[in-house]
A and B are shown apart, each in its own frame.
Chain A
Amino acid sequence: MTIDNNFMLGKNFYILISLVFTSTFLVAQNIDYGKVSKEELTQGFSSIDSTASAEYLYKYRKTYFNYVSGVGFSLITDVHERIKIYSKEGFEFATKKIRLYKDGNEIEDVNKLKAKTYNLIDDKIEETPLKKEGKFKIEISENVNEESFTMPNIKEGSIIEYRYSISSPFIYNIDEFIFQHDIPVKKIEAFFEAPEYFVFRMNVKGFMNVMPKREQFNKSLDYTQRVASGGTTSAGAGQGLGRTTQVRGSVKYMNNVISFDLSDIEPLKEEPFVNELRNYRSGVKYELSYTQFPNSNKEFYSRTWEDVVETVYKNPRFGDELKKKNYFKEDLNVIIKDLTNIKEKVNAIFSFVKSKVKWDQSYGKYTKQGVKQAYQTGVGNTAEINLMLTAMLDFANLESNPVLVSTRSNGMPLFPTREGFNYIVSSVRLNGDIILLDATSQNSLPSVLPIRALNWEGRMISKDGKSTIINLYPTSKGSIQTFQNISLSENGTAVGKIRNVYKEHQALSFRDEYRKNKQESYLNQLVDKYDGIEINNLEVKNSNELAKLPIESFDFTTESEIDVVSNKIYFSPLLFLATKENPFKQEKREFPIDFSFPFENISTSIINLPEGYRVVSIPEAIAIALPNGMGSFSYAINNVGNVLQLKVSKKINYPVIPAEYYPSLKEYYSKMIEKLNEKVVLTKV
């Protein structure tokens, strides 16, 4: 897409124009390349984070449009970065890798690379420039090149500085401006400059409070227009070229600039139970809303959620693919002909798609080879499989629509963007409720989507092109119901039988785990998970029959859970099922705690005590709860004759818990774990 296309006026005459953009507005860069100070070189640690191994002293990026005659617009990104290296761990920042995309003849390029290392030697600044042997270029794959360079003469205390420019033909694809890194940043200056013809939407993400500055300035564009009028109805190649006239002109237009000037940015640090850390990394993403060239209409790309949906829907690899039905008609008629119950129909179609087409592990909201081809070859991406499912449900007269989803790895769809969605699931209305379906996962159930698709909200697209928000997180709980019957012996060995029944998301996880492995390696995993207990007679029912609940049972022997000390026996009654470690170890937390789905684990145990022993003490019953009904834990134990009865219930009622509840959650886990590990004391009579 270049500007030339928009100036095509008709077949009787055509215009070739060349535009020369002359920028009168110079973005002032506050820090000059090559001017490194002694203070910067002697500084021993970062003032933002004293433990940092390296620090961006300065990060400059300017992305703008450039017009080249005969080629069209290209996107230029100027980069200037200055990095201080504090310790050997920071040496990795002395190597820079730049990923460059390509598509056929359209390639991204790095130009004007200049780089230097600075060291302070005997109180003098020593500069070592980057030379040819430190620069590398490799072709990673069909669509990716990588240019990299590594700096010479790196020591602890060195400063490196580089400047380069990337030119890209992919003008609608602006790489995210990243403000927050794994190391601190002293100062950032970021500019995005676009002619009024291109209207971009700005999406800010992360927890940092950043204020953009918006400016506009006039630019004039001198152009040379070649007008050729062939005078015939067919613009003949040979005769037209000889008779052109050159017209010079000038166009005034506005340039829009959005800039950020930020300083002292703390590094982003890893925490457990985080759904993709990069969702929280501070930055700005620009996405094209519409274009409007002189003498043309606005062409919309996306602006609102409705626009996004429309753009996706209009794409032939989405909407048209959804309408195709002939390829499955005959086969599907056979499947559904005797079914009258709606639920049965849904289940039959759902499992038909699963058995017919296998997922090729690739994500996409658009089809690759098309639904028909996927149906024939038996392999498809997420779009092919779930659009096919939707089309089949629709064919069976059910109200079914596709739902656009952003997977966990793709980040949260906080803003209306096309790139924001990368995945499709299907939905069907059953007795007034919307049920979500994903046939790419063999073990998924209606309303039980694979974890990858559980990410905040999706957009359901109905036939009229309208869309509605759909909450992707499940509301019903995944559950494990455990029953165990244990017999203790005097020497500290426990022999028992255990039975687990899995529901909803817990059933999905269990089946994924069990079916992925051979029974043998699953058994080894169990042994590892439960501190090396010995397992016999492992049996799993309904591992493949999705309509039924999977039930797992096995016999076990363990010696390690029971302490026999002189004439007393000590054990925590849940034995190896007791959680021993608090997963929340950090003192504080900034990001929400993501459990993926609400859950409920309930276990009932019957413990037969050894002959000749009586109970000295048992733990007290407790019930604790998280604030606002977010979760609860209860523990109750009774002694009746020679038997202990134990009931433990753990519930987390929401898939995601906000970070402000972290102290409560940590405390709750700590109390729970303490209770689970409390001992029963028996003594010899």
Chain B
Amino acid sequence: MRLFFLFLFFTVTHTTSSQDYSFIKIKPSLLKNSDAVVRLDESTILVKSSDYMEVTSKRVVTVLNESGSKHVNATVFYDKETSIKDLEALILDAGGKEIEKFKEKDFIDQTATGEGTLYSDSRVKFLRYTPIKYPYTVVLTKKYTTSDTAFMPRWYFIDGYRLSVEKSEFHLSLPSNMKYRFKDNNLETFGVQKSNNNIGLSYKVVDLKALESEDFDPEFRDFAPNVQLALENFHLKGVDGHATTWKEFGSWIYNSLLQERGELSSATTQKIKNLVKDTEDPKEKIRRVYQYVQDNTRYISVQMGIGGWEPISANEVDRVKYGDCKGLTNYTMALLKAVGIDSYYTIVSADSSMRSLDYDFPSLQGNHAFLNVPLDGEELWLECTSQVVPANFLGTFTDDRYVLKVGPDGGEMVKSRKYLPEQSKQITTAKITIGENEINAVVEIKSTGIQYNQKYGLVNDSKEDIEKYYKHYWDYVNDVHILNHDVKNDKDSIITVENVEFKTSGYLSKAGERLLFAPNMLNRNEYVPKRGKDRSRDVVIKRGYLDEDEFLIELPDNYEIESSLKTIDLKNNFGEYSVSLIKVSESQFKYNRRLLIKPGVFSNTTYDDYRNFRKEIAKSDKNKIVLLKK
């Protein structure tokens, strides 16, 4: 009896003390640079079989100010396979006293279908709470079960900038006969403790200080501590899978999701054969088939079937003439096959952050599909969701990263196309005629590589949008009146050629008898990285480019150059920059400029050097010459 009381007593004190989330208990070191403090983030994944797991978590966040509210993360997604078992949020005041309670029914329930998607069965429940006072604390407990074990949630011990963590714990527990793999990243520098055995994993960390974001940061996941998980035998929307290597993952995707989805009607097969019958050149065949796809289909996002992983069949796409990335890629693959060309369905993590699929952690990853066509000695890439991109061009969405090629022989990790700075080139040539009140400029801009990526879309824009674009592109020139413009997209050589003529009366500045004119009127680079205090992380410059400019400048009658530009020639690890102004005749001068920005990972100590380099460029691009009346 006495023992029982004691036990009860301890339990009670234990719970009350563990729930003291008053603001004053937070260590001052965790308040520095923080918008919110995670008091506790605890999650347990209990895998019962390859098609059943239970995820229980508790997250306690003290929000210090308005910007901190986004770190509460009181959101849970669900669908046919995932059901919410528990969901509750308590709001505590600064003293840790409960002021409000939200039960599951008080959460807002709505579709998680994005703007561009017509259908998906994904839904979301989230908490809508208006803070009365800062700081406040949200205690969120949730539990869900799912049969989808193909995606094991990745655990971040700290999940954002300007957020500190008092305690973060993560546990995985599973039957001893179930094999799993895990990979932990960046644990040491943050002092994360771990223990693991055949029935699970356990991690714990305390007192993580808030991180600040910096310009040219590496990706957050590349330096923040996190753990990745995967089951060897997994389940996805009713389909079993087994994989431990990328080769096996590729096989599984090929066999379970793609096979028998490539059939085409004989009429279509015949039509596509006719399309290429007069050529033997495989590249030309690919170009024609791709053009056919672009002319005849469009992109529509519908997420049905196996978790958005199974393409609609080629026949179906052929009939309705639309599909999502998977459907259109599979369709193009089938058409190519009909003309005797093998190609590979390829999975990529698509966005401009250039994120690779994890080379040494095979698991279901990526968010997009496109097509790889190997030819003798080279690889062509086809982005099948676009009606305008040329064959074999990749933009910032999919360039230069590890992607998974899928075929009958399984999966293979390969790098997608990288553009060297010299390939991402923009050449601007112009004739600039200066009048006393007005300047006229006739400009030609040629763009390739990644710079092409930013231009080709212009071709389809309306006249008004194009004019707006140029007014914005030259926003440092006032009163731009576009006289005419013409944008050509040469899909064969993958180059855009823009011809623009404009006049302005707002560019020269007057200084008494003198006119000031900045010769770089058409391609200024004014960007200067933010001043960084104590730069701590590497400086990552993802893509490089090369700009070459040559402007022929005609002076107004009766004016001469009183002072000209200094020639500049800079070279360093980050790139090259040179500028010169030379006299061609009495009234004509030639302005030449070359800017090369190199990609790379540079040490944190070089941040100021990079900033100074950009500062010098920005300043020099604004340099003026002085014209004086004769």
Using a CB–CB cutoff of 8 Å, the interface residues on chain A facing chain B are 51-53, 87-89, 91, 94-95, 97, 131, 133-134, 136, 138-142, 148, 150, 152-155, 269, 358-361, 377-379, 516-518, 524, 527, 531-532, 534, 559-560, 563, 565-566, 568, 570, 572, 580-582, 585, 616-617, 619, 670, 673-674, 677-681
Contacts and interface: CB of A to CB of B under 8 A. Distances in A.
Contact of A140 (B110, B296, B319): B110
B511 A679 contact: yes
Given A150-B322, A516-B66, A678 B511 contact: yes
Given A134-B320, A152-B319, A379-B132, A269 B119 contact: no
B119 A138 contact: yes
Contacts of B300: 95, 150
Interface residues of B, number: 64
Contacts of A94: 298
Contacts of B133: 358, 378
Contact of B130 (A136, A358, A534, A678): A358
A680 B510 CA distance: 9
Given A150-B118, A581-B475, A670-B506, 6 more contacts: A89-B460, A141-B110, A153-B320, A532-B618, A565-B625, A570-B509
Nearest 4 pairs of A and B residues by beta carbon: A617-B512, A679-B511, A378-B132, A152-B320
A531 B110 CA distance: 43
Contact of B476 (A136, A359, A580): A580
A534 B612 CA distance: 13
Contacts of A141: 108-111
A568 B475 CA distance: 27
Given A677-B509, A681-B512, A570 B626 contact: yes
A51 B460 contact: no
Contacts of B623: 563
B111 A670 contact: no
Contact of B531 (A359, A377, A527, A617): A527
B619 A358 contact: no
Given A153-B321, A534-B531, A563-B516, A585 B471 contact: yes
Q: Determine chain B's interface SS by DSSP, over half rule.
A: mixed
A88 B119 contact: no
A152 B322 contact: yes
B302 A581 contact: no
A142 B67 contact: no
A553 to B, nearest CB: 19
A525 to B, nearest CB: 11
B111 A139 contact: yes
Contacts of B512: 616-617, 681
A152 B295 CA distance: 14
Given A565-B563, A617-B512, A136 B65 contact: no
Nearest to B298: A91
Nearest to A534: B531
Contacts of B298: 88, 91, 94, 154
Interface of B: 35, 65-67, 100, 108-111, 113, 118-120, 130-133, 295-296, 298, 300, 302, 316, 319-322, 387-388, 460-464, 468, 471, 475-476, 478-480, 505-506, 509-514, 516, 526, 528, 530-531, 562-563, 615, 618-619, 622-626
Contacts of B618: 532, 560
Contacts of B563: 565-566, 568
Contacts of B316: 133
A617 B513 contact: yes
Nearest to A117: B321
A572 B518 CA distance: 14
Nearest to B162: A518
18 contacts: A53-B462, A131-B320, A138-B111, A138-B113, A138-B120, A142-B108, A155-B295, A358-B130, A359-B130, A377-B100, A379-B132, A560-B622, A568-B626, A572-B509, A580-B478, A582-B478, A617-B512, A677-B509
Nearest to A137: B119
Nearest to A145: B111
Nearest to B110: A141
A109 B618 CA distance: 59
Contacts of A560: 618-619, 622
A587 B132 CA distance: 48
A679 B510 contact: yes
A673 B478 contact: yes
A532 B460 CA distance: 35
A585 B132 contact: no
B530 A673 contact: no
B530 A527 contact: yes
B624 A565 contact: yes
A384 to B, nearest CB: 12
B138 to A, nearest CB: 15
Contacts of B320: 131, 133-134, 152-153
Contacts of B478: 580-582, 670, 673-674
A154 B322 contact: yes
Nearest to B526: A531
A616 B118 CA distance: 67
Contacts of B475: 581
A680 B302 contact: no
A358 B129 CA distance: 11
B118 A136 contact: yes
A534 B506 CA distance: 28
B576 to A, nearest CB: 22
B272 to A, nearest CB: 16
A676 B274 CA distance: 66
Given A150-B300, A155-B295, A677-B509, A88 B463 contact: no
A46 to B, nearest CB: 12
Nearest to B476: A580
Nearest to A49: B462
B531 A379 contact: no
Contact of A152 (B118, B321, B463): B321
B118 A379 contact: no
Nearest to B513: A617
A133 B615 CA distance: 56
A450 to B, nearest CB: 16
Contact of A142 (B109, B296, B624): B109
Contact of A51 (B65, B462, B528, B619): B462
Contacts of A379: 130, 132
A358 B388 CA distance: 50
Given A88-B387, A524-B530, A674 B506 contact: yes
A16 to B, nearest CB: 37
B594 to A, nearest CB: 21
Contacts of B321: 152-155
Contacts of A674: 478, 506
Give the most central of A88, A532, A616: most B CB within 10 Å.
Answer: A532
Nearest to B511: A679
B132 A532 contact: no
Nearest to A51: B462
A142 B562 CA distance: 72
B478 to A, nearest CB: 5
A585 B506 CA distance: 12
A559 B619 contact: yes
Contact of B506 (A88, A566, A673): A673
A88 B479 contact: no
Contacts of A570: 509, 511, 516, 624, 626
A116 B623 CA distance: 60
B417 to A, nearest CB: 24
Nearest to A532: B528
Nearest to A148: B118
Contacts of A89: 460-461
